Amino acid sequence: METRERILLATFDVVAKHTINGTRMPMIARQAGISQGLIHYHFHTKEKLLIAMCKWLFASLREYRGVSTGHTVLRIHPATPEELRNTFLEYLRILAEEEQDMVRVFYDFWVQAAAGKTEISVLFRNQLAGYREHIARTLRTDHLTPAECSALTALFASVFEGAIIQLLIDPQAFDIEQYLQLTDTLTTTLSP
């Protein structure tokens, strides 16, 4: 593993355990087994390191890949709306069941973005827009106005994100299999 990737993975591990605000550069250096100076060589500040880690995590999402487990959904480039929907649902299952640290780190970044951290806010705004576009490709939206399509994809994003956070906080709240079946039924109803 190259040094930069090692630093990003160590940063992820530290943030997952201690939150963004609780993370310090010496902690990352210890986790990576390298000097703090080497971290500063690659990433001049903690903020630059956190932004790079955030982008690294977004790349994992686009590849349908987990960070902690390395588990990847096999259909990385689905061709049809049905394949895309199934891939998306399978990845949600991976996040909820196997990648809780990844989800926790993302939610920690969301808090930072909501607090007005400018560069992080822009990153997350763009990521959410891509997420909604992804969802729109799985739904039948040709009969909707642009405003209705925007609202529907935002609703679906809320449903998925809400499920993941509930499963992290209260895993016994509902059955993930039943939830995904109901979500799949709903998306199928709205798909061509």
Segment 60-105, tens digit of pLDDT: 888 888 898 888 887 656 667 777 777 777 888 888 888 999 999 9
Task: Please state, in angstroms and as integers, the Cα–Cα distance from residue 55 to each residue in 45, 46, 51, 110, following that order.
Answer: 16, 14, 6, 13
Q: How far apart are CA 35 and CA 29, in angstroms?
A: 6
Q: For 27-37, how does the pLDDT look when each residue is reduced to its tens digit (9 = 90+)?
A: 999 999 999 99
Query: Which residue, among 92, 78, 81, has the nearest Cα to 157 in the 3D structure?
Result: 92
Q: Whole-model pTM?
A: 0.81
Q: Are 54 and 109 in contact, with CB atoms under 8 Å apart?
A: yes
Q: Are 19 and 45 in contact, with CB atoms under 8 Å apart?
A: no
Query: Which residue, among 85, 96, 90, has the nearest Cα to 134 in the 3D structure?
Result: 85
Using only C-alpha atoms, the chain has a radius of gyration, in whole angstroms, of 18
Q: How far apart are CA 29 and CA 31, in angstroms?
A: 5
